Amino acid sequence: MKRLLTSAIAAGFAAALWAHAGFAQELAPLDSDTEKNRIDWSQLEMKFGALPKPSEGTKAGGVSKTLTNEYWRSLGEGYKKFADKAGVTVAYQAAQSEGDQLGQLTIAEGMVTQGFKVLLLSPQTDANLQPVMEQAKAANIPVVNVNDAVIPQAEHYVGNVQRDNGVRVAKWFKKNRQEGGKVAVIEGQAGVYAAVQRTDGFKSTIGENGKFQVVASVPGNWDRQQSYDAATNILQQHPDLIGFYCNNDGMALGVVEAVKAANLLGKVAVFGTDGISDAYASIKAGELTGTVDSFPVLTGEVAMETALRLVAGQQLPRVIATPQALITKDNFANYQGDEAKVREVLLKDAASAQ
């Protein structure tokens, strides 16, 4: 019944996606990973100059998936840091859970009428906040889609390359487990852009040399307990499994517990995605093998800067790409510490990648 209800909700939102043909035809559906009209976060000020001073009383509204996940709390922290520095007021709200699509929609719709000059939206699915895009456009309020689901008609998106999360983990396995073997994927919410891209990036890359077999790829729905249960079943069916890739860190930490319960710690590699503090602690403790950090505080700062540049009337690329890095015991210390240090490391990473 729950699955049928979810499908019905998704179908309703999908219908809304095309309800206003004029709006839908203005932009090609966004694929944030491959959109050519893009710029790296490190190039913003160089190409568009210093941020214009916001008008007094400027208010920005942020709507997140949920505040029960540290990633989204950290993203909000980034919003507030940059907003405070710019002298802007920011309100940050979220749904009760990562599955509360209608609750998130209600929050976002309310913000359209509350005097905010710009909205920063992190939708739970690719479709559930589409009606807000249309309402905001009618009210002349710029909208920034911020990680990780992608609204097809979003005019501006800030976030990392989702496919590359899975690619980086697959490359680790190919380099560090050269003999190959059986691997499994714990996916996020079915149909969500980030989950689809992360999973496909891992599978397509891990399968290139024919040495690895993906024996299971099941949804964990961003839930730690559900992922623990899924991993337990997979390990029972495949006791010779050599590793897991999980679409976020909460799920990965649940998988680590399943691996420990099966007395396979150190034998089965486990990777997550996001770079939350518990993931770093687990890596340091020798339990989680690694995570692909997408630096949510910095992402929040970049997103708020992007939002305020739009309020100032600047014409920006459709996608502002934010950083990511594969974190393991070999390099995690490089990406810890105060914000200035981490930003400096990431700027060096960006320069070396160009």
CATH number at residue 104: 3.40.50.2300
Residue at which a domain ends, from 293, 314, 347: 293
Q: Are residues 100 and 225 in the same domain?
A: no
- What's the domain range around 122? 27-160+296-322
Look at residue 26 in the predicted model and tell me its pLDDT: 66
Q: Are residues 312 and 203 in the same domain?
A: no
Q: Are residues 152 and 300 in the same domain?
A: yes
Q: Is the peptide bond before 84 cis (omega within 30 degrees of 0)?
A: no
* Identity at 326, one-letter amino acid code: L
Q: Are residues 154 and 300 in the same domain?
A: yes
Q: Are residues 179 and 266 in the same domain?
A: yes
Q: Are residues 289 and 167 in the same domain?
A: yes
Q: Are residues 215 and 104 in the same domain?
A: no
Residue 250 lies in a domain: yes
Q: 91: helix, coil or strand?
A: strand
Residue 253 and residue 282 in contact, taking contact as beta carbons nearer than 8 Å: yes
Look at residue 9 in the predicted model and tell me its pLDDT: 44
CA proximity to 6, closest of 130, 189, 188: 189
Q: Are residues 64 and 152 in the same domain?
A: yes
Q: Are residues 141 and 199 in the same domain?
A: no
Please give the Cα distance from 202 to 199 (Å, whole number): 5
* Identity at 217, one-letter amino acid code: S
SS3 annotation, 1-50: CHHHHHHHHHHHHHHHHCCCHHHHCCCCCCCCCCCCCEEEHHHHHHHHCC
Please list the pLDDT of the chain residue by residue as tens digits (354 residues): 444 334 444 444 444 433 333 444 468 999 999 999 999 999 999 999 999 999 999 999 999 999 999 999 999 999 999 999 999 999 999 999 999 999 999 999 999 999 999 999 999 999 999 999 999 999 999 999 999 999 999 999 999 999 999 999 999 999 999 999 999 999 999 999 999 999 999 999 999 999 999 999 999 999 999 999 999 999 999 999 999 999 999 999 999 999 999 999 999 999 999 999 999 999 999 999 999 999 999 999 999 999 999 999 999 999 999 999 999 999 999 998 888 899 999 999 999 887
Give the DSSP H or E segment for 145. Answer: strand 143-146
Q: Are residues 192 and 72 in the same domain?
A: no
Residue 6 lies in a domain: no
Residue 335 lies in a domain: no
pLDDT tens digits for 7-26?
444 444 444 433 333 444 46
E strand segments, the chain? 38-40, 59-66, 89-95, 118-121, 143-146, 157-159, 181-187, 212-219, 243-246, 269-274, 290-293, 319-321, 325-328
Residue 190 lies in a domain: yes
Q: How many Cα atoms within 13 Å fall on the side-chain side of residue 295?
A: 31
Residue 80 lies in a domain: yes
Residue at which a domain ends, from 248, 273, 293: 293
Residue 65 lies in a domain: yes
Domain count for the chain, please give it.
2
Q: Are residues 126 and 174 in the same domain?
A: no
CA proximity to 353, closest of 9, 23, 42: 42
Residue 260 lies in a domain: yes
pLDDT tens digits for 160-176?
999 999 999 999 999 99
Q: 229: helix, coil or strand?
A: helix
Residue 351 lies in a domain: no
Q: Are residues 118 and 169 in the same domain?
A: no
